[in-house]
């Protein structure tokens, strides 16, 4: 844990113009954490896992439990490793910026939330971290909060992902109810019960809503490209390498518990496939390199979702491998686009060209990352792609569908890779090339490490394959997976498909200009329907809020109160109708004359208070009521209560008499004229209250607590007045709260009066 908290402490130290050590402190901390996680690789490669837990809210089955298995470790390594590079990059990118500290602190907070999300074993705990990533992401997307556009887009990301988060929470609670546990590690044992339960479809819909919104699946994809309002390092970290993969992580984590069924397979395959293909088309449409990369991220997320649906060992291994591949090349390319933006002054593809000479070091990095993206051997991307095709062919139900989606999406990735690596660097020189220059080392380091990683792991795939991918796939499939990772598999169908992909990709790249024009025309025909749906819902909600504010919140207390009582009465009547009437006792019981007299006196006092126009009479009537009620308390053995009631009645008269005669007389009108509407509401409330009380009396009294108090009062609390023992011993915490309220009321009253008096004396 100390390793994990190190970056926070370091970020807090960093000053905006601070020493390099302070600025790069968070990066160093994150790198240390990454090294710590890397030390766990041998344990995980051995197909074992580590679990630690502390009790938290044990009554609700919520534990502070963490689990490190293959799946968690892959994410933890990506989060801390890429986190270290991005933090170092940001410290250089924002050097001298007045909000550098804010950015670093937010990034570190996000990193910790994301780590918590992937390491949490308890699903509620995971959800807490899930929401924390949503919140930190909101703050990071809205980092340029002076701009209305950034604020709106941050709000959009927040609303979409938080709405999905709510659905997820409901899904988690249902899982807990059905499976009887909230620990993810214990869920596979309950998988059969979960899948057979009638609530399974509801669980599936809710969990998938959470995952799809977070991972920007169609039709919730629109927030992710809009989140590019964030600074480039943020986009590289949150919106390509880590946060958007949280949904994928969730699907992977729950695959053993919920996966493998027909609905799971079809939903994931179709949603993922559609997302992948649509996103790659939209990616080609963009001219802003950052947006292009954003859409290819959506595409990658769709691909991952599609393969997670497959539920075969190879498909899952393909998904895990592609996850790593994508994190490496996408983060590298995002950071490189940030370099172009900063050093060449533009991200627009049409304005960039001929940068290979002035920025050759950057170009090498971009070329390496793009080759991995396009899936050329000997890069890790090639292995990922071969595995994808192998996995697609192994998909149980519809291999052809998955293969088609995969080939189409990959071909367009080849085209995009070419677009990013060729056009800005080898294209005709533009004005930007003249003033372009190499970035500082700290900015170049991140993309360089990531891009080189794609090459190194491609040449030695066992480093990730045996150590991480196989254990992870094993976790998901619930059976030991020992896939061989080799660069060269011989001539087989996946290789054929790869060649087909390259050919298609080159064709698309060459035809890019025409495609873009065609897409621009198509855009006019509602390709953005999903986002306009969001806008519509948002506008509708605002209009509804404005309408109900106008109607209900008139600023008139009487109307507020009328609404409140009307709703209260309606609820009471609804409760009565839904079973209250059924339990009411029938028949009339005996009542003595003295009781009847007291009841009549009390009722008379109440009615007199309403109809009188004299304040003194009203006070007297209230006193009469209070005394009659005290008498009723005496009849039924409540001596303490009766004494309290009588004393309070006395003091009420004393206090009310002091103030009341300074207040204006009761105006005659409301007393004489009957307000029929108000009387109706009052009667509805009063009659419902009386009936509800009658219904309560028709139920069996649960005397367990009373019996306990009666038995324990003398023996355990050494008091023979049970009422007093309850007040000062058994329920003393309640009493403490109550006397605190009394003190606050007194202090408030004194303050109200004293301020007035001092003001008056000062003005004399």
Partner 1 sequence: MELALAVLVGVLTTCAVYLMLSGNMVRFIFALALLSNAVNLVIFAAGRLTYAAPPLIADGAKAPADTVANALPQALILTAIVIGFGLLAFTLVLVHRAHQTLGTVEADDMRVAEPASDDDEAR
Partner 2 sequence: MNSIILTAATRVITPLMVAFSLFILLRGHNEPGGGFIGGLVATTAFALYAKALGVRATRAALRVEPAAIAVAGLGLAALAGLWGLLAGGAFLEGMWPLLTTTPSGDKAGLPLGSVLLFDVGVYLVVVGSVLAILFALEEDVAASSPEEAD
Q: Which of residues 642-701 bind partner 2 (CB under 8 A)?
A: 643-644, 647-648, 650-651, 654-655, 658-659, 662
Q: Which one of partner 2, partner 1, none is in contact with 706 (Cβ closer than 5 to 8 A by kind)?
A: partner 1
Within 10 A of 370 (CB to CB), how many other CB atoms are there? 27
Angle, helix 262-285 to helix 399-426, in steps of 10 degrees = 20
**Residue 697, SS3 per DSSP:** helix
**Closest distance between partner 2 and the C-beta of residue 726, in Å?**
10
d(CA 87, CA 149): 25
Per CB under 8 A, 745 contacts partner 1: yes
Q: What does DSSP assign to residue 663?
A: S
CA-based torsion, 35, 455, 68, 181: positive or negative: positive
Report whether 237 contacts 108 (CB < 8 A). Answer: no
Q: Out of 524, 718, 759, 762, which residue is the one contacting partner 2 (CB under 8 A)? A: 718
- Select from 397, 492, 614, 689 the one that contacts partner 1 (CB under 8 A): 689
How many of the other CB atoms lie within 10 Å of CB of 401? 15
Q: Which residues pair with 183 in a beta bridge?
A: 122
CA dihedral 289, 142, 95, 423 (to 10 degrees): 0
Closer residue to partner 2 (CB): 529 or 655: 655
717 near partner 1, rule: CB under 8 A: no
Does position 64 bind partner 1 by CB under 8 A?
no
Residue 702 zone, left/alpha/beta (φ > 0; ψ -120 to 50; rest): beta
725 binds partner 2 (CB under 8 A): yes
Q: 472 contacts which partner out of partner 2, partner 1, none, CB within 5 to 8 A by kind?
A: none
- Smallest gap from Cβ 665 to partner 2, in A, equals 16
Contact flag: residue 401 with partner 1 (CB under 8 A):
no
Confirm if 327 and 82 have CB atoms less than 8 A apart: yes
Nearest-angstrom CA–CA distance, 498 and 500: 5
From partner 1, partner 2, none, interface partner of 565 (C-beta below 5 to 8 A by class): partner 1
Per rule CB under 8 A, is residue 616 in the interface with partner 2?
no
Which residues, including other chains, have CB under 8 Å from residue 482's CB and lie 6 or more apart?
A: 466, 470
Asked if 392 and 273 touch (Cβ cutoff 8 Å), the reply is no
DSSP character at residue 674: -
Q: How far is the CB of 728 from partner 2 (least distance, A)?
A: 5
Single out the segment in contact with partner 2 by CB under 8 A; choices: 59-67, 484-492, 555-563, 726-734. 726-734
CB of 651 to partner 2, least distance (A): 6
Nearby residues of 436 by Cβ (< 8 Å), 6 or more positions away: 343, 344, 345, 355, 358, 359
583 binds partner 1 (CB under 8 A): no
717 binds, among partner 2, partner 1, none (CB under 5 to 8 A by kind): partner 2
Q: Does 495 bind partner 1 (CB under 8 A)?
A: no
Of the pair 8, 727, the CB lying nearest partner 1 is at 727
Helix or strand holding residue 568 (H, E): helix 557-575
Binder of partner 1 out of 343, 655, 672, 764 (CB under 8 A): 655
205 binds, among partner 2, partner 1, none (CB under 5 to 8 A by kind): none
Considering only 148, 521, 591, 593, the residue that binds partner 1 (CB under 8 A) is 591
- Indicate which of partner 1, partner 2, none lies near residue 193 (CB less than 5 to 8 Å, by partner kind): none
For 670-683, b/e burial (b = at least 16 CB within 10 A) is eeeeeeeeeeebee
The conformational region for residue 592 under phi > 0 = left, psi -120 to 50 = alpha, else beta, is beta
Maximum CA extent, the chain: 109
In angstroms, the CA 502 to CA 390 distance is: 17
755 is a site residue for partner 2 (CB under 8 A): no
Q: Which stretch binds partner 1 (CB under 8 A): 223-231, 470-478, 491-499, 740-748?
A: 740-748
Q: Segment contacting partner 2 (CB under 8 A): 449-457, 530-538, 614-622, 743-751?
A: 743-751
Q: Which does 689 bind (CB under 5 to 8 A by kind): partner 2, partner 1, none?
A: partner 1
CB distance 203 to 171 below 8 Å:
yes
CB neighbour class for 234 (10 Å; exposed up to 12, middle 13-18, buried from 19):
buried
The number of residues that bind partner 1 (CB under 8 A) is 99
CB of 755 to partner 2, least distance (A): 11
Rounded CA-CA distance 123/509 in Å is 44
| H helical segments located in 427-492 | 431-435, 441-459, 462-464, 470-477
Segment interacting with partner 2, rule: CB under 8 A, options 87-95, 193-201, 523-531, 752-760: 752-760
Q: What span, in angstroms and rounded, lies between the C-alpha atoms of 117 and 245?
A: 11
What are the two backbone dihedrals, phi and then psi, of residue 50, each rounded to the nearest 5 degrees? Answer: -120, 135
Closer CB to partner 2, 98 or 759, in the complex: 759
Binding to partner 2 (CB under 8 A) within 698-717 occurs at 717
Question: Exposure of 564 by Cβ count < 10 A (0-12 exposed, 13-18 middle, 19+ buried)?
Answer: exposed
What angle in degrees, to the nearest 10, is found between the helix axes of 313-343 and 380-394? 140
According to the binding rule CB under 8 A, does residue 136 interact with partner 1? Answer: no
Among partner 1, partner 2, none, what does residue 48 contact (CB within 5–8 Å per kind)? none
> What is the spatial distance between Cα 86 and Cα 381, in angstroms, rounded to a whole number?
21
Q: Which of 503, 507, 594, 753 binds partner 2 (CB under 8 A)?
A: 753
Stretch that binds partner 1, among 233-241, 244-252, 418-426, 744-752 (CB under 8 A): 744-752
Figure out which of the listed residues 731, 733, 761, 764 binds partner 1, where binding follows CB under 8 A: 731
Instruction: For residue 503, state whether it binds partner 1 (rule: CB under 8 A).
Output: no
Binding status of residue 624 toward partner 1 by CB under 8 A: no
52 binds partner 1 (CB under 8 A): no
523 binds, among partner 2, partner 1, none (CB under 5 to 8 A by kind): none
Nearest approach, Cβ of residue 758 and partner 1 (Å): 13
Distance, CA of 275 to CA of 267 (rounded, Å)? 12
287 or 650: CB nearest partner 2: 650
**What is the size of the binding site for partner 2 (CB under 8 A)?**
43
Give the residues lining the site for partner 2 (CB under 8 A): 639-640, 643-644, 647-648, 650-651, 654-655, 658-659, 662, 717-721, 723-725, 727-729, 732-733, 735-736, 739-740, 742-743, 745-747, 749-750, 753-754, 756-757, 760-761
């Amino acid at each position: 844990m100390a390793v994990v908290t190190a970056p926070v402490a370091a970020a807090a130290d960093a000053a905006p113009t601070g020493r390099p050590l302070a600025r790069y402190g968070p990066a160093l901390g994150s790198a240390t954490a990454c090294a710590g996680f890397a030390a766990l690789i041998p344990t995980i490669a051995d197909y074992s896992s580590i679990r630690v837990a502390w009790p938290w809210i044990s009554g609700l089955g919520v534990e502070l439990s963490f689990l490190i298995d293959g799946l968690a470790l892959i994410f933890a390594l990506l989060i801390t490793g890429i986190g270290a590079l991005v933090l170092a990059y940001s410290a250089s990118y924002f050097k001298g910026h007045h909000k550098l500290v804010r950015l670093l602190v937010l990034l570190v907070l996000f990193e910790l939330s994301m780590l918590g999300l992937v390491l949490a074993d308890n699903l509620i705990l995971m959800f807490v971290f899930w929401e924390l990533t949503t919140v930190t992401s909101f703050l990071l997307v809205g980092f340029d909060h002076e701009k209305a556009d950034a604020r709106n887009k941050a709000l959009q990301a927040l609303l979409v992902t938080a709405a999905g988060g709510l659905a997820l929470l409901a899904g988690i609670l249902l899982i807990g109810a059905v499976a009887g546990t909230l620990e993810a590690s214990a869920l596979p044992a309950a998988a059969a019960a979960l899948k057979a339960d009638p609530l399974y479809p509801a669980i599936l819909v809710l969990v998938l809503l959470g995952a799809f919104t977070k991972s920007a699946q169609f039709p919730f994809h629109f927030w992710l490209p809009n989140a590019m309002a964030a600074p480039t390092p943020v986009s590289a970290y949150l919106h390509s390498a880590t946060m958007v993969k949280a949904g994928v992580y969730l699907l992977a984590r729950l695959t053993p518990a919920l996966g493998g069924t027909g609905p799971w397979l079809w939903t994931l395959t179709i949603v993922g496939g559609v997302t992948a293909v649509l996103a790659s088309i939209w990616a080609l449409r963009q001219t802003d390199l950052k947006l292009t990369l954003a859409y290819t991220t959506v595409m990658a997320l769709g691909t991952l979702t599609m393969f997670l649906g497959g539920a075969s060992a190879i498909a899952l291994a393909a998904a895990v491998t592609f996850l790593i591949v994508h994190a490496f090349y996408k983060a590298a390319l995002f950071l490189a686009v940030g370099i172009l933006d900063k050093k060449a002054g533009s991200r627009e593809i049409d304005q960039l060209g001929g940068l290979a000479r002035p920025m050759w070091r950057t170009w090498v990095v971009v070329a390496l990352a793009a080759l991995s993206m396009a899936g050329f051997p000997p890069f890790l991307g090639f292995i990922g792609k071969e595995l994808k095709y192998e996995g697609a062919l192994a998909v149980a139900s519809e291999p052809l569908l998955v293969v088609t989606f995969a080939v189409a999406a990959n071909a367009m990735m080849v085209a995009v890779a070419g677009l990013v690596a060729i056009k800005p660097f080898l294209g005709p020189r533009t004005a930007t090339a003249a003033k372009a220059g190499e970035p500082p080392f700290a900015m170049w380091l991140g993309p360089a490490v990531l891009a080189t990683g794609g090459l190194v792991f491609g040449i030695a795939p066992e480093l990730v394959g045996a150590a991480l991918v196989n254990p992870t796939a094993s976790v998901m499939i619930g059976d030991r997976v020992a896939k061989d990772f080799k660069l060269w598999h011989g001539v087989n169908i996946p290789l054929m498909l790869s060649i087909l992909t390259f050919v298609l990709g080159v064709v698309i790249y060459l035809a890019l200009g025409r495609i873009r024009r065609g897409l621009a025309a198509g855009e006019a025909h509602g390709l953005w329907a999903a986002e306009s749906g969001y806008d519509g819902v948002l506008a509708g909600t605002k209009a509804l809020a404005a309408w109900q504010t106008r109607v209900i919140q008139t600023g008139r207390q009487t109307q507020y109160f009328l609404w409140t009582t009307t709703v209260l009465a309606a609820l009471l009547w609804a409760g009565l109708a839904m079973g209250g009437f059924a339990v009411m006792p029938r028949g009339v019981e005996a009542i003595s004359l003295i009781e009847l007299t007291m009841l009549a006196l009390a009722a008379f006092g109440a009615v007199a208070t309403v109809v009188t126009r004299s304040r003194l009479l009203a006070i007297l009537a209230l006193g009469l009521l209070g005394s009659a009620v005290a008498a009723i308390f005496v009849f039924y053995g409540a001596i303490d209560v009766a004494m309290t009631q009588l004393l309070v009645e006395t003091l009420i008269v004393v206090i009310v008499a002091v103030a009341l005669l300074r207040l204006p007389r009761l105006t005659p009108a409301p007393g004489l004229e009957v307000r029929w509407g108000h009387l109706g509401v009052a009667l509805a409330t009063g009659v419902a209250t009386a009936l509800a009380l009658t219904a309560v009396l028709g139920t069996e009294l649960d005397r367990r607590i009373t019996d306990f108090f009666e038995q324990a009062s003398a023996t355990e609390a050494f008091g023979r007045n049970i009422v007093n023992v309850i007040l000062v011993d058994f329920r003393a915490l309640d009493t403490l709260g109550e006397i605190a309220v009394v003190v606050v009321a007194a202090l408030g009253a004194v303050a109200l009066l004293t301020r007035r008096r001092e003001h008056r004396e000062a003005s004399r």
